[in-house]
Amino acid sequence: MNNPGIRPECEELLNALEELNIEEGVTEAEVLSSLSMQPRQHAMECEECRSAVADRVTTRAALAPMKETLPEPGPWFGARVMAAVQTAENEIEEKRDGVWIGVRRLAPRLAAFAALLLVLGGTWAMEVRRREATLEGPEKRPVEGLFETTPNTVTNDDIVASSSEGVRP
């Protein structure tokens, strides 16, 4: 067991004891006789190891009947498991589809709502431009005739060029 507190001979015997498959009804003497010479000899000399053998036999005898009380699966168990698997898979499928079904059902309404928003938004924007144009008045609006050029705008380059020549615009 690699236990620092345990002697190597004890460890050897306990390891050997653990490797044995002990059937129900086997006596202590039969267990000891099935061990190899060294562990067997040690068990005769060591009280603790002798107790360990006795404990192994006692618990094996006491617990062996438990096997008879254990339930066994019925012939239908495999089918029941596969049916449960199928049900679980269907539920997962439905949940996944549920989200998309919802979106598909709402799609026409969403499309109509979006169209309505576009129309209302466009109408509002046009209305705002029209009002702004009315408030500004005809003089303020720049006139662009066929034979008139657009007024010159002064840029930074012009200012820099003019100041270097000592001429202000």
Partner 1 sequence: MPEPVTGGSAETGEARREADRELVRRAQQGDKEAFETLVRKHQGRVFAVAGGILRTREDVEDIAQQVFLKAYFSIKRFDQRAAFSTWLYKITVNECWDLLRKKKVRPLLYEADLNEEQAHAYQSTEDGNECAPDVSERLEAREQLDQWLECLDEKDRTILVLKEVQGFTVEEIAGIMGLNGNTVKVRLFRARQRVAERIRRKKRAASV
Footprint of partner 1 on this chain (CB under 8 A)?
A: 1-3, 14-15, 18-23, 25-26, 30-31, 34, 51-52, 54-56, 58-60, 62-73, 77-78, 80-82, 84-85, 88
Q: Nearer Cβ to partner 1, position 46 or 60? A: 60
Q: Nearer Cβ to partner 1, position 25 or 122? A: 25
* CB burial of residue 61 (10 Å; 0-12, 13-18, 19+): middle
Contacts of 154 (CB under 8 A, 6+ apart): 169
Q: Nearer Cβ to partner 1, position 65 or 108? A: 65
Q: Nearer Cβ to partner 1, position 34 or 123? A: 34
Residue 98 Cβ, how far from partner 1 at the closest point, in Å? Answer: 19
Residue 56 Cβ, how far from partner 1 at the closest point, in Å? Answer: 6
Is the CB of residue 33 less than 8 Å from the CB of residue 42?
A: no
- CA 110 and chain centroid, separation: 32
What's the rounded Cα separation, in Å, for the pair 67 and 55?
19
